[in-house]
Structure 1
């Protein structure tokens, strides 16, 4: 898909990687972008910044708590009402906070499920629309295991499972909507810089510090460039990684479990 002339909705987009996605979309010719975030965010200022750079009316800010079903659906409806249609959905909102694991699951997974289904509703050919693309933001943590943030890691594994399952031909043949996932490695955002005190009580801070110091952080702009690439070329159901500021690459995951052979 060429993003030129397309209309996009991005959750968690007032700052960080989400704002980088919105910026990169408009820089590459997207017609309009709706940025969704909490009322307490700097969303109004972010929309003004985008409109100043790319043209008045290019971006709108919609107050939305993605854990509230009515607010998320209202945000999709408002985007279509304001801009006439919808072509791209990026389910980006997320937190890394195992100390509040129920909220973490609600934001990182339940809201992604709902955002995906709303993407089908507002873009699906079976609903009278023209199709589109949904990008579900996971993490490299969704491809591995680790002791530091086990609930966070589980939510990101779940996003990959959701994407691969909704990305099967059965759904695409009905909807004309591709579902793909991006898995960024450590990125210089508040998700990483403000994770102190957000672990389970059983995880020591020294362990977290060691993990964070062992991996270099990339910029949000590098991740945004990767997302634009996979919107253009990513196959339905595909999973991509962007790390160390390098170009995004697709990863291959097993479709079936492999029986363990004892030594």
Structure 2
């Protein structure tokens, strides 16, 4: 069983929302230090104040990070090692929901996650403090089913599912001792959802907005954060964790649509 106690984490998009809840919940479970990599300095500063108030000073650093720029993502990794010497957990959480700017959405949701995974693959082998490193990719229930009003967003989350599934195989773990886990939150009460309006849809699909979103019950971000802790401490390599309707479901291995040729 993996223990979070005394570990160091780097979390993208952690200045607010679910990302910040992830960081706080890990501190409640003994995390030693964290890097908040976020594009918004004001949110980053506020997050540091909240962490210091609840958990003490010098527990976290903020690194301004645009996850679409590989050099900025790498700078967050480098500054983590400079500050804390170790890195054990990388959570690729940064993302946006806005099909109307789908090129930017793809760059953040997919490219940013790929950059985080590839850098973590290197850093977690060199700088982890224990026997294992952990990569957690944040996908969505939209990566496991259809979501008719935001098909491009759903496609980005399907991409994360495919990335995690292919990186989280036994052959990779045996070589690297890096577990790859995936969290798939359902509709969660954060600004990503509360700010969602029809203008976030492409015109061809906005007519389905009023039908689509109400089908899914909202949940609190604290529930998703607790799902992360369960995944970190007990999740097997390659497992998927669906946190939907305030329930946590472990899927050890997503079924294959096609079987490998024998």
- Return the TM-score normalized by structure 1: 0.93
For residues 120 and 160 of structure 1, do their structure 2 counterparts lie closer, same or farther at Cα, with a shift above 3 Å needed?
same
Answer whether contact 1:229 1:248 (CA < 8 A) is retained.
Answer: no
For residues 233 and 200 of structure 1, do their structure 2 counterparts lie closer, same or farther at Cα, with a shift above 3 Å needed?
same
For residues 257 and 100 of structure 1, do their structure 2 counterparts lie closer, same or farther at Cα, with a shift above 3 Å needed?
same
For residues 120 and 98 of structure 1, do their structure 2 counterparts lie closer, same or farther at Cα, with a shift above 3 Å needed?
same
For residues 95 and 128 of structure 1, do their structure 2 counterparts lie closer, same or farther at Cα, with a shift above 3 Å needed?
closer
Answer whether contact 2:168 2:238 (CA < 8 A) is retained.
Answer: yes
For structure 1, which segment, 135-144 or 192-201, has the greater mean C-alpha deviation from structure 2 after superposition?
192-201
Deviation sequence 1:4-55 (CA, Å, 0-9, x none): 1110011000110000000101011100011111135411111111011101
Deviation sequence 1:153-183 (CA, Å, 0-9, x none): 0111110110011111221122111011010
Q: In 2, distance between residues paired with 1:247 and 1:214?
A: 19
Q: In 1, distance between residues paired with 2:127 and 2:38?
A: 28
Give 5+ residue unaligned stretches, structure 2.
none
Answer whether contact 2:7 2:31 (CA < 8 A) is retained.
Answer: yes
Give the aligned partner of residue 177 of structure 2: 176
For residues 128 and 220 of structure 1, do their structure 2 counterparts lie closer, same or farther at Cα, with a shift above 3 Å needed?
closer
Q: In 2, distance between residues paired with 1:131 and 1:249?
A: 20
What secondary structure is seen at the aligned counterpart in 1 of 2:247?
A: coil
Within the alignment, does 1:155 sit opposite 2:146 as a pair?
Answer: no
Answer whether contact 1:39 1:63 (CA < 8 A) is retained.
Answer: yes
For residues 186 and 83 of structure 1, do their structure 2 counterparts lie closer, same or farther at Cα, with a shift above 3 Å needed?
same
What secondary structure is seen at the aligned counterpart in 2 of 1:179?
A: strand
Shift of 1:128: 6.7
For residues 240 and 128 of structure 1, do their structure 2 counterparts lie closer, same or farther at Cα, with a shift above 3 Å needed?
closer
Answer whether contact 2:236 2:252 (CA < 8 A) is retained.
Answer: no
What secondary structure is seen at the aligned counterpart in 2 of 1:247?
A: strand
Give the aligned partner of residue 10 of structure 2: 9
Give the aligned partner of residue 32 of structure 2: 31
Q: In 2, distance between residues paired with 1:97 and 1:136?
A: 19
Give the aligned partner of residue 202 of structure 2: 200
Answer whether contact 2:239 2:250 (CA < 8 A) is retained.
Answer: no
For residues 10 and 190 of structure 1, do their structure 2 counterparts lie closer, same or farther at Cα, with a shift above 3 Å needed?
same
1:44-83 alignment runs, 5 A limit: 44-83=45-84
Shift of 1:255: 2.1
Shift of 1:257: 2.3
Answer whether contact 2:17 2:190 (CA < 8 A) is retained.
Answer: yes
- Return the TM-score normalized by structure 2: 0.93
Shift of 1:216: 1.5
Q: In 2, distance between residues paired with 1:45 and 1:35?
A: 11
For structure 1, which segment, 69-78 or 214-223, has the greater mean C-alpha deviation from structure 2 after superposition?
214-223
What value does the CA root-mean-square deviation take over the aligned residues?
1.5
Shift of 1:195: 1.9
Give 5+ residue unaligned stretches, structure 1.
259-263
Give the aligned partner of residue 93 of structure 2: 92
Shift of 1:249: 2.6
Answer whether contact 1:64 1:71 (CA < 8 A) is retained.
Answer: yes
